[in-house]
Amino acid sequence: MGTLISARTFEIDEPGMPVGLVVKKAEILGCGFDKIIERLSCLGLGDSSLPSPSSVGKTNATDVVLLSENLDGRSPWLANGKLVGLGNLVAASVRTQLSPARAKRRLMDFGFEVELAAELAAPLDTSDLRLMSTRLDSQQPWLDLSAPVSSLHIASAAYLGRQPFVAVATHLTQLGFTLSNISCDPEEIDNVDSRVRSAVLALSQRFPQLLHDQPFLIVRAAARARCSPASVGRFLATVGVDLRLAGPLPRELDDSTGTLVNLLSSDFSISLKDLISVSAKVNVSLKLVVDRMLALGAGFNFLPDSLVSLDETDRRIVASLGIYLKNSSLSTPPTTPPHPVTPTSAAIRSTRSTRQGKHSG
């Protein structure tokens, strides 16, 4: 006769079942949230992190959107009981067309804490969904009250929304956010060349926290926007970004250098495969490509000193097969270049190995 072992014996401390997932399954299965909770409890599969059905009441498709991190009704879901930031709340209000107060109450019904002390006075629209996202892409992570909103975020949002810097800053304060110390002239920001602002927008969307001591990121963004890397650096410094660069950024990029930079597939660690492909495409020496990238502050995932020169056959092979080559096969060259194998050298090695075999015997 089997022995009954309590399930608690094998309990593992795992994150709770997301309430958003349960609500979505309730919608798909056509049964209420309360029914699912009841059946899970009867089966011994209850989850104490889930809210009480009495506080939740009847659920609908809007709840599914509200409980998803990206406000799209899909995974990932908000972690049960977490603090929902103000940025998330504002974005949720826009996405679900619920008032901020109503969105807050509904989230609290599901057991969440919400970062909102009073009614929001500012009107909300779809541009706020983009403004609330830290990468200005209408996706999480969202802004919250734990840190002031940077001037870089404000300047990028203003350019993207074709609004004055001051208008965006004022709107954020109306929503309850604090701003970082704005020491720049807003009118000066608004009048900067659009190509420079386009490069800065690309950087703020992709690398908002990674601009310290990364000159090649700035050079790459400037090359794509066809503007001066030095101008992009000055704008970033104007909006309070501490670049901490080892040296000055180039004032201009000549056409050939701009082409080289744009052909690379990585913004950070450049692979040997990438360099070989670029060298083949533009028909310049590998050493010249490496020297130019080093001068621009690029990083490599191999030792540039270990490079060997390419002959014309190498160029044709890489140019025709480049998209199929794996980085791992080319990004870790030997620490010393292999000696060329000729019939004479092969015969010498064969003779040496034979003699060594006799001596060891």
Q: What is the pLDDT of residue 234?
A: 93
What is 282-300 written as a DSSP string? Answer: HT--HHHHHHHHHHTT-EE
Q: What is the pLDDT of residue 332?
A: 36
Would you call 116 helix, strand, or coil by DSSP? coil
Q: What is the pLDDT of residue 19?
A: 95
Same domain, 73 and 100: yes
Can you tell me which residue has the tokens 């009841």? 38
Residue 2 domain-assigned (yes or no): no
Would you call 205 helix, strand, or coil by DSSP? helix
Q: What is the pLDDT of residue 92?
A: 93
Same domain, 36 and 117: yes
Q: What is the pLDDT of residue 302?
A: 64
Last residue of a domain, one of 229, 253, 277: 253
CA distance 31 to 123: 36
Same domain, 260 and 237: no
Q: Which residues contact 121 (CB under 8 A, 6 or more apart)?
A: 174
Cis check for the bond before 141: say yes or no (omega within 30 of 0): yes
Strand partners, 179: 149
Q: What is the pLDDT of residue 155?
A: 95
Last residue of a domain, one of 253, 288, 308: 253
Which ranges of the chain does DSSP label H, i.e. alpha helix?
A: 19-29, 33-42, 53-56, 61-66, 86-96, 100-109, 126-132, 151-160, 165-174, 186-190, 194-206, 215-225, 229-238, 255-263, 272-282, 286-295, 312-321, 327-330, 343-360
Would you call 344 helix, strand, or coil by DSSP? helix
Closest to 188 measured CA to CA, from 149, 146, 231:
231
Domain count, the chain: 3
Same domain, 121 and 188: no
Range of the domain at 163: 147-253
Same domain, 200 and 214: yes
Closest to 79 measured CA to CA, from 39, 21, 125:
21
Q: Judging by beta carbons within 10 Å of its beta carbon (0-12, 13-18, 19+), is residue 195 exposed, middle or buried?
A: middle
Residue 200 domain-assigned (yes or no): yes
Same domain, 57 and 35: yes
Same domain, 35 and 91: yes
Same domain, 107 and 193: no
> How far apart, in Å, are the Cα atoms of 243 and each of 90, 173, 249, 303?
31, 27, 11, 26
Residue 349 domain-assigned (yes or no): no
For the chain, the straight-line distance linking the first and the last C-alpha, in angstroms and rounded, comes to: 68
Residue 162: left (phi > 0), alpha (psi -120 to 50), or beta?
left
Closest to 154 measured CA to CA, from 243, 71, 238:
238
CA distance 85 to 116: 8
- By the 8 A CB rule, do 131 and 168 touch? yes
Retrieve residue 304's tokens: 């540039």
Same domain, 301 and 269: yes
Residue 142 domain-assigned (yes or no): no
CA distance 218 to 208: 12
- By the 8 A CB rule, do 220 and 236 touch? no
Q: What is the CA radius of gyration of the chain?
A: 29
Task: Report which DSSP code applies to 84.
Answer: E
Residue 101 domain-assigned (yes or no): yes
Q: What is the pLDDT of residue 315?
A: 63
Retrieve residue 6's tokens: 């309590």
Q: Each residue's pLDDT tens digit in the chain (361 positions)?
A: 455 444 443 333 445 789 999 999 999 999 899 999 999 888 888 888 899 999 999 999 999 999 999 999 999 999 999 899 989 999 999 999 999 889 999 999 999 999 875 677 677 888 999 999 999 998 889 988 888 999 999 999 999 999 999 999 999 998 889 998 888 899 999 999 999 999 999 988 887 666 677 888 899 899 999 999 999 999 999 998 888 887 889 999 888 788 888 877 766 667 777 777 787 777 777 788 888 888 888 877 666 665 656 666 766 676 666 555 554 433 333 333 333 333 333 333 343 444 444 444 4
Would you call 269 helix, strand, or coil by DSSP? strand
CA distance 2 to 163: 72
- By the 8 A CB rule, do 300 and 274 touch? no
What pTM was computed for the model? 0.72
Task: Report which DSSP code applies to 81.
Answer: T
Q: What is the pLDDT of residue 348?
A: 34
Residue 281: Cβ within 10 Å count: 15
Retrieve residue 206's tokens: 């992709």
> CA 187, 193, 197: angle at the middle one, nearest 5?
85
